[in-house]
Chains A and B, each alone.
Chain A
Amino acid sequence: MLRNTRRRGPAVIIWVIAGVALALLVLPLLGILLSAPWPQLPALLVAPETLQALGLSLLTGVISTCCCLVLGVPLAVVLARSVSWAVVPRRLLRAAVTIPLVLPPVVGGLALLLLLGRNGVLGRYLAMIGITIPFTTGAVVIAQTFVAMPFLVFAVEGALRGADRRVELAAASLGATPFQVFRTVTIPLVAPGIAAGAVLCFARALGEFGATITFAGSYPGITRTLPIASYLASQTDLNQSIALALVLLVVSVAVLLGLRDRWLRPAGSSGSTATTAPVALG
């Protein structure tokens, strides 16, 4: 990491700039808190639309995170192993995993519509057997899984790279099949990374807006998640919008703080690798 740590910590200018950066991240949230309609808040929070959107967001967020775990952990393993590949396929794979991070979510949603819509490249065949995906809760899950996947993959990949591969080699030399090694050695080894990735993944899924509204549309109880409800409310009733935004904020922060403390600390060993991993985009 940092080579010249011999110097006694960063210069004053670094502190100042870091302070500005922190203010940029934190002050907008303070804005929400300060302009929140506190007296009306209880009524706004238990309003049927709020609860409906919250319920839908939590449900789809949890399912999307599960999808990301099932699909993303194996992808992370492949990505971590790709260091030994030739340059071109290695970079292509990494770029593919990075796409949802750099693609505007609305474009991602449009791409999903063109693939899975009932006239889409794949969707037309699904439609033949009676499956149409757009405008369903399933479409919300797919959109969220699409945008959240990289968070899980990079977190787990970072943990895998930091993990001691000799343990896996030892297990293999003792006769374990590759899948046994994966299940009984690799997974427990990078559990903190998986947990960190899952938390980020869930937070990202919860906040998903652009891909969802493009691919899944917006209908109360079916596809209108909290961010969409908050956006719609912002056009007519700012107080309602702020209330919805607060719910989103509280849930996200609670998830980030709560889960980290409970599940990441005891596992210990490679925790720091895991938490820095999502930044390692290459």
Chain B
Amino acid sequence: MKVRPLLIATATVAALALAGCSGASSGSAPTSSGTPDSLKGTVTVLAAASLTEVYGDLAAQFEKLHPNVTITQSFGGSSALAAQIVQGAPADLFATANEATMKTVTDAGMAAETPIVYATNILTLVVPPSNPANVKTVADLANPAVKVALCDKTVPCGSAAITLLAAENLKVTPVTLETDVKAVLTKVEVDEVDAGLVYVTDAKTAGDKVKQIAVPDAANVINRYPIALMSGSSNPKAAKAFENFILSKTGLAALKAAGFGTP
């Protein structure tokens, strides 16, 4: 890919400026430099599947505030997106569902700033509304007759699931290991599996399409969600503004409403 030293420098300066005034989670002002009208162009955001709804809403709000900016988002498994970025996929902002996947991108030198952790998420157990296998607790997942869908260990929801099941001392043989959390949710929604481990935020999004069963120990397995401006960004100014918008009161309130925790 093309390397643009000037833009990287600009982005780094912007990042440093933010680091100065941050404290990340309590960031307030959505715009830092210039009037809203000075923002234009496209901002490409690659974000974890679990952020689909909340980022979609926030992007729509941001586009209303800044009519000359178009936010293009691609949601998927964090590790798949990380691999795409390392392979040179154009991205202005990258938001993952855990710090390990973000690290592969920062290690590759693709981030223009130190990633900012702004939200957390925990897993929960979901079953189809009819609860066909009569699942009552997470321990029922160890029953071979219960068809379980989990995320693959390569994606954040999968590594969290492995940690959680280990903490529960359960040996679970899933029928499928999906590439992102939404795929697990879908399998439960269409009632093709008896149970799945997804994020509480996904369970919330799904509403009455799934039934949620609390997992007491889930609160101990916390995924921390980082976001970072990418060094290859072709529109760092608008990208940084959108990042600030996510970290603003409005953004954090939307995340909270969606079920995310605060780091």
Complexed CA–CA distance, A141 and B176 (Å): 16
A146, CB-defined interface residue at 8 Å = no
Of the listed stretches B22-30, B31-39, B147-155, B202-210, name the one at the interface; the rest are far from the partner chain. Answer: B147-155
* A117 touches which of B77, B80, B154, B190 (Cβ 8 Å): B190
A235, CB-defined interface residue at 8 Å = yes
* A118 touches which of B149, B174, B192 (Cβ 8 Å): B192
Q: Contact: A218 with B191, CB < 8 Å?
A: no
Q: What is the interface residue range for chain A against chain B? A: 20 to 34
Residues of B within 8 A of A223 (CB): 176
B178, CB-defined interface residue at 8 Å = yes
Q: Contact: B77 with A235, CB < 8 Å?
A: yes
A234, CB-defined interface residue at 8 Å = yes
Residues of A within 8 A of B175 (CB): 135, 217, 219, 222
Knowing A135-B147, A135-B175, A219-B177, the reply to whether A232 touches B152 (Cβ < 8 A) is yes
Q: Contact: B176 with A232, CB < 8 Å?
A: no
A213, CB-defined interface residue at 8 Å = yes
* B176 touches which of A118, A119, A217 (Cβ 8 Å): A217
Q: Contact: A134 with B79, CB < 8 Å?
A: no
* A113 touches which of B83, B177, B190 (Cβ 8 Å): B190
How many of chain B's residues have a CB under 8 angstroms from any CB in A?
A: 21
Q: Report A202-234 residues with CB < 8 Å from chain B CB.
A: 213, 216-220, 222-224, 231-232, 234
Q: Contact: A118 with B191, CB < 8 Å?
A: yes
Knowing A135-B175, A219-B175, the reply to whether A119 touches B83 (Cβ < 8 A) is no
Q: Contact: A218 with B178, CB < 8 Å?
A: yes
Complexed CA–CA distance, A235 and B82 (Å): 7
Q: Contact: B187 with A217, CB < 8 Å?
A: yes
Minimum CB–CB distance from B259 to chain A (whole Å) comes to 26
Complexed CA–CA distance, A222 and B80 (Å): 23
Q: Besides the contacts A117-B190, A134-B192, A220-B177, what 9 more A-B pairs have beta carbons closer than 8 Å?
A: A113-B192, A132-B147, A135-B147, A218-B177, A218-B179, A219-B174, A231-B179, A235-B155, A236-B154
